[in-house]
């Protein structure tokens, strides 16, 4: 099998697993206990917090551990919107956010009387600062724009957007789940108040993430209980996963140059190969301003379901950028927002490379994909003719 779905998840790096192991069986104390078992776990957690803070160039106390990207996104947007309610009730977001943001904003709007503006994106999936500024109102409290998109890989102009927000007293959150491990996470250079990451997208374990919360930013927690994480996230610390998260993030940034160079070589070979050998293929997302690991396409006159099944039969694990139900394929909301017609937005393919991907994998994939698309195109024209 060839795994080209690294935007969905990555394998856990064996070095990360090694770092985690002692915290299951030896250092198993509850980090909130005052005895020696508890202190040992607490030390490991505080080391992990410092490791992550050094990469985000923030204070350790500004890092909140969570169960992953979804929880970090929920806590950031819901928590900030609730806490700032007395100042205003208007939220700004984009049509290309992950469900952890879009559904949270939708719920705040539908059930709790908040208002929202969903910004437009262009054909490349980029948000424009002028549109952001035009959407800001006196009662706007929170804006959330993702750093890099999971479906089309496009990187947003976060420093410019965050600066516009700061000038207007609006809290700015970015979902950096896809960006973490590939793009700089310096929160001051980015200018963000809140930033989400998730371990399993950069060779860490699943079920753990972090939220950066700028000192002084008020959040109302959705999960109440113990006073863990400055009262923002109740629940006994998951020491092994937190150690794994920090270890994986440190490895990703220690090895950033070699990893991104590797990704980029493979991604470019994939994009050039597909566009050169498949006439009805189009690249989606920004041509240059995109994640190094990320290639995404749409194909004219192709049934997406059949495409994924045939790729899978060739041993290639890829993903549609859209949600597939049995038989029918829903057009991707991200591609629709980018201005693609529903037929094209239903025929998308995302191929994301990783540290273990080889040139041979890419060549085999291009060759297989070319054959599959030719076959499906013939079937399609036979259908239309018949």
Ligand X SMILES: *Cc1c(COP(=O)(O)O)cnc(C)c1O
Supply 114's token pair.
Answer: 């908040």
Nearest distance in Å: CB 66, ligand X:
9
Active site residue 324: yes
Bridge-based pairing state of the strands 115-118 and 140-144: unpaired
Say which residues have a Cβ less than 8 Å from residue 242's Cβ, sequence separation at least 6.
Answer: 44, 45, 48, 65, 208
Catalytic-role residue among 58, 136, 324, 383? 324
Nearest distance in Å: CB 148, ligand X:
8
Closer residue to ligand X, CB minimum distance, 98 or 116? 98
Distance CA 350, CA 108 (A): 31
319 forms part of the interface with ligand X (CB under 6 A): no
One character per residue 174-203, x = contact with ligand X (rule: CB under 6 A): -x-xx-------------------x-xx--
Q: Which position among 209, 285, 331, 333 is part of the footprint of ligand X (CB under 6 A)?
A: 209
Closer residue to ligand X, CB minimum distance, 263 or 299? 263
Supply 300's token pair.
Answer: 């004219």
151 forms part of the interface with ligand X (CB under 6 A): no
Using CB atoms, what's the residue nearest to ligand X?
69
Separation in Å, CA 61 to CA 53, 120, 177, 241, 324:
8, 35, 20, 18, 41
Closer residue to ligand X, CB minimum distance, 201 or 267? 201
One character per residue 3-42, x = contact with ligand X (rule: CB under 6 A): ----------------------------------------
98 forms part of the interface with ligand X (CB under 6 A): yes
Closer residue to ligand X, CB minimum distance, 200 or 228? 200
69 forms part of the interface with ligand X (CB under 6 A): yes
What SS3 class is residue 293? coil
Nearest distance in Å: CB 200, ligand X:
6
DSSP codes, 89-102: -EEEE-TT--HHHH
Q: Which position among 150, 304, 348, 357 is part of the footprint of ligand X (CB under 6 A)?
A: 150
Scan for tokens 């709790």, then name that residue.
112
Say which residues have a Cβ less than 8 Å from residue 213's Cβ, sequence separation at least 6.
Answer: 62, 63, 64, 76, 193, 194, 219, 232
Q: Where are the alpha helices (DSSP H) in 158-288?
A: 158-167, 187-190, 239-254, 256-277
Q: Which position among 76, 84, 146, 335 is part of the footprint of ligand X (CB under 6 A)?
A: 146
70 forms part of the interface with ligand X (CB under 6 A): yes
Distance CA 260, CA 252 (A): 10
Positive or negative, the CA dihedral 319, 323, 329, 330 is negative
Closer residue to ligand X, CB minimum distance, 3 or 299? 3
Supply 156's token pair.
Answer: 């947003």
74 forms part of the interface with ligand X (CB under 6 A): no
Closer residue to ligand X, CB minimum distance, 107 or 370? 107
What SS3 class is residue 11? coil
Structural contact between residues 48 and 242, judged by C-beta atoms closer than 8 angstroms? yes
Residues labelled as active-site residues: 324
User: Can you give the binding site for ligand X, defined by CB under 6 A?
Assistant: 68-70, 73, 98, 100, 146, 150, 175, 177-178, 198, 200-201, 209
């Amino acid at each position: 099998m060839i795994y080209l779905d690294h935007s969905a998840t990555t394998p856990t790096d064996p070095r990360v697993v090694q770092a985690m192991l002692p915290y299951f069986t030896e250092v198993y104390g509850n980090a909130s206990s005052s005895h020696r078992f508890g202190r040992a776990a607490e030390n490991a957690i505080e080391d992990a917090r410092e490791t992550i803070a050094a990469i985000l160039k923030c204070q350790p106390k500004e890092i909140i551990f969570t169960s992953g990207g979804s929880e970090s996104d929920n806590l950031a947007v819901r928590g900030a919107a609730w806490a700032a309610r007395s100042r205003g009730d208007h939220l700004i977001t984009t049509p290309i956010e992950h469900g952890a943001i879009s559904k949270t904003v939708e719920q705040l709007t539908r059930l709790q009387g908040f208002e929202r503006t969903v910004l437009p994106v262009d054909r490349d999936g980029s948000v424009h600062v002028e549109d952001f500024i035009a959407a800001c109102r006196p009662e706007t409290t929170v804006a959330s724009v993702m750093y890099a998109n999971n479906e089309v890989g496009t990187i947003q102009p976060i420093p410019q957007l965050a600066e516009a927000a700061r000038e207007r007293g609006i809290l700015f959150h970015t979902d950096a789940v896809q960006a973490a491990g590939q793009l700089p996470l310096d929160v001051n250079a980015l200018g963000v108040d809140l930033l989400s990451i998730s371990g399993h997208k950069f060779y860490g374990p699943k079920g753990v993430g972090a939220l950066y919360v700028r000192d002084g930013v008020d959040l109302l927690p959705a999960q109440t209980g113990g006073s863990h994480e400055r009262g923002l996230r109740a629940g006994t610390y998951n020491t092994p996963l937190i150690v794994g998260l920090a270890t994986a993030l440190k490895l990703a940034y220690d090895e950033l140059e070699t990893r991104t160079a590797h990704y980029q070589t493979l991604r470019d070979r994939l994009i050039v190969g597909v566009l050169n050998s498949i006439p009805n293929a189009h690249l989606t997302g920004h041509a240059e301003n995109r994640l190094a690991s990320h290639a995404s396409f749409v194909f004219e006159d192709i049934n997406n379901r059949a495409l994924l099944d045939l790729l899978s039969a060739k041993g290639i694990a890829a993903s549609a950028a859209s949600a597939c139900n049995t038989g029918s394929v829903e057009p991707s909301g991200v591609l629709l927002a980018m201005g693609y017609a529903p037929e094209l937005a239903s025929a998308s393919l995302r191929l994301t490379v990783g540290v273990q991907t080889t040139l041979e994998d890419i060549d085999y994939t291009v060759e297989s994909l070319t054959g599959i698309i030719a076959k499906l195109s013939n079937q399609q024209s036979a259908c239309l003719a018949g």
